[in-house]
Amino acid sequence: MTDLIKDLSELRLNYQKGELLEDQVKLDPHEQFLLWFNHALAAQLHEPYAMSLATANAQGRPHVRTVLLRGATQHGYAFYTNYDSQKGMDLEVNPYAELLFYWQEQERQIRVSGRVVKISEEESTDYYHKRPRDSQIAAHVSTPQSGVIASRDELQQRFWDYHDTMANQEQLDKPEFWGGYRLVPDYYEFWQGRPNRLHDRLSYTRTDDAWTLQRLMP
């Protein structure tokens, strides 16, 4: 096979869409997060609520995937999944994780790290019933998540079998193995691309009941 790209070192952009200065950011990192997040929403970026979630298992082996942010408050950042998934198994033995938001069009990135806790059953059930019905069905049939399945056809058949079985049931029950997590942050890093790779990086680290703001080298 012929290589399409001979030298990746020649591929680069010169970032120049903004700056990030200490006297311009919020004292509270969650408020700064909301400021940037709302900028991304207002700009109608494609799925600005998509985020990379990094976890690690008991042996320290990392796993990363894209999930959707489903809540952002002072108490933390919420997402939902199958508890028996790889991320669920990782969090069972190592409850620390990191989120990454990257908005290419604005040359911005946010890292959020902290301890992950399960969301209450009541809150998970409430969110489950807000999902489209087909998504609710998918939660029932795509288990164990990340498990091996013989074919796409088998998965589709599971979906339609459950769909037909539950056709007369107005409301589906939330699966016991499905629900939410909330990452409670103790560290944030805000990154703004800058010319000549002299990027702006500001970190917030939790110390007791306060946040310490520092500038990091690019």
127 labeled binding residue: yes
53 labeled binding residue: no
67 labeled binding residue: yes
131 labeled binding residue: yes
14 labeled binding residue: yes
157-180 core/surface letters (b: 16 or more CB in 10 A; e: else): ebbeebeeebeeeeebebbebbbb
20 labeled binding residue: no
Which of 108, 197, 206, 215 is the catalytic position?
A: 197
As beta bridge partners, residue 63 has 55
65 labeled binding residue: yes
Measured CA distances, 124 to 80, 118, 190 (Å): 8, 9, 29
Helix (H) or strand (E) holding 215, with range, is: strand 210-215
122-152 core/surface letters (b: 16 or more CB in 10 A; e: else): ebbbebbeebeeeebbbbbbbbebeeeeeee
Is 115 annotated as catalytic?
A: no
66 labeled binding residue: yes
6 labeled binding residue: no
- At 204, the amino acid letter reads Y
As beta bridge partners, residue 68 has 50
129 labeled binding residue: no
Catalytic residue ranges: 197
Residue positions in the annotated binding site?
A: 12-15, 65-70, 80-81, 87, 109, 127, 131, 135, 145-146, 191, 197-199, 201
Residue positions in the annotated binding site for FMN?
A: 65-70, 80-81, 87, 109, 145-146, 191, 201
Residue positions in the annotated binding site for substrate?
A: 12-15, 70, 127, 131, 135, 197-199
